[in-house]
Structures are given as structure tokens and as C-alpha cells.
Structure 1
Amino acid sequence: DVWSPTIISPTTGTVWYTGTIVNVTWCVETADAPVVISNAGEVQLDEGGDNLGIILASDFDLRTGYVEVTVPEVSTGDSYEITLYGDSGNISNDFTI
């Protein structure tokens, strides 16, 4: 089964500051969440739909519902997105760094 959990945070209106530690969170309490997930999780930072190739976290269990990441040094902008990979990819709403 493919599971694509909804990203809870960051969301529209979220502001991250370079160098801070923040949580990326997603909903794990859904009926379609599998007992076993074959792939480890990965969180990637994108901007305006473009893949920046910046991996913020990898090799974590998607069933935890969150992962801590350090906000990287990037240009200020309001069209950043998080892509959560595991069984499938899921993209957050745009937010600001």
C-alpha cells in the first residue's frame, strides 16, 4: 500500500529563520497508514516547485509524525515547500524562510 501522509507543518504563514531547529510534522493518525513502511523517510526543501536538492533529513521512521531539521542558509523567499518522501511524495503549502 502507498501511504501519503498530509503535512501539518510548515504551512502557509509559517516563517522559518536560518540556523534554527524546527519540526516538520505530518498526520500519522489515518486509517490508511500501513503497519510496515518499506522506505525510510526523507524531507527535502524545494522552492516554487523547483527541486533545490537540499535534503533536510533522511532515514527516519514516517510513523513518528515529525522530524527535527535545521533551517539551511538560503535566500529569503516566500515560496519554499517541503517534500516528504517515503512510500510516496507529499508537498507542503508554501512558507517563508
Structure 2
Amino acid sequence: MDDQKPKPEGEKQPEKPSFWKTFPGILTGIAAVVTAVATLLAAADKAGLFSAPPAPPSQADNTPPDPSDSGASTSGDNSPIVQDTDGNVTITVGE
């Protein structure tokens, strides 16, 4: 039971290891770094840093619509036809 005796003033107590040198400290440090990197990646993705820039419109997209062309065609399978006219989307059933 020597541990319970007070140490003389001249004798030093053994130093405890730093928290960062213990296993829980190392795990805490690793978890903090992983969390920080994941947060930065998520923020960068949300800001659009990882997405490709939008492609410039092709010359075919810049031609004015022909008023005589309805834009609708039938494929012969009676599936619905989606027609986009000046930003309005209408669905008609092919006959």
C-alpha cells in the first residue's frame, strides 16, 4: 500500500501521457480529420465545384421554331407525345 503514502516534496510524480498519445485520443483525432474532410467535400459539391460546366448550346438549338412544324410526330405505338412550345409542355395522345 505504498501508493497511499504522500510523496516527499523532492520526488516527482510520473507524468501521464498526453491525451493525444493514447488510443482514444488517436481515434478522436482521426475522426475529427475524417469529419472535416467529408464536410469540406460535401460543401464543395453543393457549391458545384465537382460538376461539369454546362455545355454551350449547339447551333441547332439557336434556330427559331418553324410555325408550320407542330413538333409532334407519331411513332405508331400510340405512346403519349410530349411537345414543348415556348416553354409550355403539353401531352397529347397519338392516334
Query: Which band: TM-score by shorter chain?
Result: under 0.3
Larger % of strand: which? 1
* Structure (1 or 2) with the larger CA radius of gyration: 2
TM-score (norm 2): 0.22
Identify which of structures 1 and 2 has the higher relative contact order when contacts are C-alpha pairs closer than 8 Å and 6+ apart: 1
Higher helix share: 2
